[in-house]
A = this chain, B = another copy of it.
Amino acid sequence: MQRLARQWQRAGKAVVFVPTMGFLHRGHASLMERARKLAGRKGRVVASVYVNPTQFGPNEDFARYPRDAKGDQRLCRAAGVDVFFAPGNAEMYPADFSTAVQEEKLAGGMEGAARPGHFRGVTTIVAKLFNAVLPTAAVFGAKDFQQAAVIRRMTRDLNFPVKIVVAPTVREADGLAMSSRNKYLSPAEREQATVLWRAVQRAQEAVARRPVAVAQLRRETARMVEAQPGARLDYVEFFDPETLQPVRTVKPGTRMALAVFVGKTRLIDNGGV
């Protein structure tokens, strides 16, 4: 991969990169199409599929994370990807691997608090993939809003010569954000899972009328989630979209993010309110 990337560098090509964990869906396809547009005809688009073990906690779903190499390749080809990069664990993490990249402010709350070590795994693998692919730009999905903020900060702080592009979340007809983990949901859970986006929409409606105290929106969100029999609210936060600092009063421009267990499946979503 790196040898090829070096040749592209010499040729002065734009290289746009979409790192993924595979089991690709329309959300990923939209990132790749965006990458294709950014790269133009003369540029190159690389998509990686790597289920990165270091970003899963010890009690998380690494082993059973869904995989579909053939389907992934098909989707990449259809979306205009030039190179499908699927490195192996032995190559990415040799036995004496001992280095970590860590973002220490934006990565603390929300997913970072709920999943200790998660973002450390993310920033480490993204730094590695950036050096393997040597892209001029990389596209990430807005569904993982905090992840995108952490990666943007890491990229700036370490001076990676990579432009970070964040593309909008793609949703099912009923608003559920596309996610590889949706596959885990039973038909009943699948219906309940719409509560994440409905809660964001409810907050948007409330805030459109006048600024609202965070406490009130938290209560309403909790009530909506609890009304679903198999659902449990993990967190809901309201924060500045740049600094991720929590706000006390929610106004248009504030970002809302939440994590909900639907049965055993943990889903996340977010939106501007």
* A10 located at the interface, meaning its Cβ lies under 8 Å from any Cβ of chain B in the complex: yes
Chain B hits for A6, CB < 8 A: 161
Chain B hits for A123, CB < 8 A: 99
Contact assessment for B134 and A101 in the assembled complex, using a CB-CB cutoff below 8 Å = no
Contact assessment for A102 and B104 in the assembled complex, using a CB-CB cutoff below 8 Å = no
Q: Scan residues 91-149 of chain A and give those whose CB is less than 8 A from a CB of chain B.
A: 96-106, 123-124, 127-128, 131-132, 134
Contact assessment for A102 and B105 in the assembled complex, using a CB-CB cutoff below 8 Å = no
Closest to A123 in B: B99
* A159 located at the interface, meaning its Cβ lies under 8 Å from any Cβ of chain B in the complex: yes
What class of interface size applies to chain A in its complex with B? 20 to 34
Q: Looking at the complex, which of A71-79, A150-158, A165-173, A181-189 is the stretch in contact with chain B? A: A150-158
Chain B hits for A98, CB < 8 A: 103-106, 153, 157
Chain B hits for A216, CB < 8 A: none
Chain B hits for A12, CB < 8 A: 10
Closest to A136 in B: B6
Q: How many copies make up the complex? A: 2
* A89 located at the interface, meaning its Cβ lies under 8 Å from any Cβ of chain B in the complex: no
* A84 located at the interface, meaning its Cβ lies under 8 Å from any Cβ of chain B in the complex: no
Q: A103-B98, A153-B99 are in contact. Are A158 and B127 (CB under 8 A)?
A: yes
Closest to A128 in B: B159
Closest to A10 in B: B12
Closest to A13 in B: B10
Q: Shortest CB–CB separation between residue A207 and chain B, in angstroms?
A: 27
Q: A9-B9, A10-B9, A159-B128 are in contact. Are A100 and B105 (CB under 8 A)?
A: no
Contact assessment for A99 and B99 in the assembled complex, using a CB-CB cutoff below 8 Å = no
A158 to B99, CA, bound (A): 7
A97 to B106, CA, bound (A): 11
A154 to B101, CA, bound (A): 10
A127 to B10, CA, bound (A): 22
* Most B CB within 10 A of own CB, among A9, A124, A158: A158
CB-CB nearest 6 A-B residue pairs: A99-B157, A98-B105, A131-B159, A10-B12, A128-B159, A9-B9
Instruction: Name 15 extra pairs, CB < 8 A, besides A99-B157, A131-B159, A131-B161.
Output: A6-B161, A9-B9, A96-B243, A98-B105, A98-B157, A99-B104, A99-B153, A100-B104, A101-B101, A101-B102, A101-B127, A127-B158, A128-B158, A131-B158, A131-B160
